[in-house]
C-alpha cells in the first residue's frame, strides 16, 4: 500500500478495491469518494508536465477569468463554473474545489476524532484567518450560482 501521497493512495485503492481492508473500509470509502481529485490533478499535471497553458481573459472588473488549453482542447468545461462557453470563472472554480476539500477534510476529521478519546480542553476549539473569509465568499458565490441554475 502506498504511503507517499494522496494521489498514490487514491490510485492504489481504485485499482485494488478488494484490498481495502489494509487501510480500513471507512477510510477507503472516504478516499474513493473524491473522484473530483483526479479531475483537478489532471489539469495540474497537464500544466506542469505536459505543456498545457493557462490563459487569462477579460478585465479586472469581470473577475479572474481563465482557461487551461492543451493544444486546441479546453481542459476545464464545467457548465456551472463557466463565465461564458469558453472561459472559467476562477472564483467559482476555486470555490468548488475548496468546498470539496473542506468537506473531505471535515469527514476525515470526524472519522479520526471518533476513534480517539475526547479531552475536555479540545471542545469548542476554533481557528480563523482572513483567508477563510475569502474562501467562504467564493463558496457562497458558487452556491448562489448553483442555486440559480437549479431554479431555472
Q: Look-up: residue for cell 477507503? A: 28
Question: What are 8-22's pLDDT values in tens digits?
Answer: 888 888 888 777 667
Whether 4 has a pLDDT exceeding 80, the answer reads: no
- 47 backbone dihedrals φ, ψ, rounded to 5°: -70, -50
Mark whether 40 and 29 lie in a shared domain: no
Position 7 scores a pLDDT of 86
Residues 88 and 49 occupy one common structural domain: yes
Same domain, 101 and 44: yes
Answer yes or no: do 75 and 125 share one domain.
yes
Same domain as 76, residue 53 = yes
Those residues whose C-beta lies under 8 Å from the C-beta of residue 31, and which sit 6 or more positions away, are: 6, 9, 10, 13, 23
Structural domain of residue 61, as residue ranges? Answer: 34-151
Confidence of residue 94 (pLDDT cuts 50, 70, 90): very high
Residue 47 pLDDT:
96
pLDDT in tens, 30-74: 888 888 998 999 999 999 999 999 999 999 999 999 999 999 999
- In angstroms, the CA 7 to CA 66 distance is 25
- Do 110 and 136 fall within a single domain? yes
Higher local confidence (pLDDT), 146 or 59: 59
Within this chain, do residues 28 and 100 fall inside the same structural domain, yes or no?
Answer: no
pLDDT band at 152 (very low <50, low <70, confident <90, very high): very low
Written as one string, the DSSP assignment of 111-128 is HHHTTSPPPGGGTT----
Q: Same domain, yes or no, for 22 and 97?
A: no
Does residue 89 share a domain with residue 49?
A: yes
pLDDT at 51: 95
Based on the fold, state whether residues 72 and 139 are members of the same structural domain: yes
Share of the chain above pLDDT 70, in %: 85
pLDDT at 2: 65
Based on the fold, state whether residues 27 and 44 are members of the same structural domain. no
pTM here is 0.75
Same domain, 143 and 80: yes
Q: How many domains does the chain divide into?
A: 2
Lowest mean pLDDT among 37-51, 72-86, 102-116: 102-116
Amino acid at each position: 500500500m502506498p504511503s507517499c501521497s494522496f494521489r498514490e493512495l487514491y490510485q492504489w485503492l481504485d485499482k485494488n478495491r478488494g484490498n481495502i481492508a489494509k487501510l480500513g473500509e471507512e477510510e477507503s470509502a472516504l478516499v474513493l469518494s473524491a473522484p473530483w481529485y483526479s479531475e483537478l490533478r489532471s489539469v495540474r499535471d497537464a500544466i506542469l508536465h505536459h505543456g498545457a497553458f493557462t490563459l487569462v481573459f477579460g478585465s479586472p472588473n469581470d473577475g479572474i477569468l481563465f482557461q487551461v488549453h492543451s493544444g486546441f482542447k479546453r481542459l476545464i468545461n464545467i457548465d456551472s463554473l463557466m463565465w461564458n462557453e469558453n472561459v472559467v470563472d476562477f472564483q467559482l472554480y476555486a470555490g468548488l474545489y475548496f468546498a470539496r476539500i473542506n468537506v473531505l477534510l471535515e469527514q476525515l476529521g470526524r472519522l479520526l476524532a471518533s476513534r480517539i478519546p475526547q479531552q475536555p480542553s479540545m471542545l469548542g476549539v476554533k481557528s480563523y484567518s482572513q483567508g477563510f473569509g475569502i474562501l467562504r465568499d467564493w463558496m457562497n458565490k458558487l452556491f448562489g450560482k448553483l442555486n440559480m441554475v437549479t431554479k431555472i
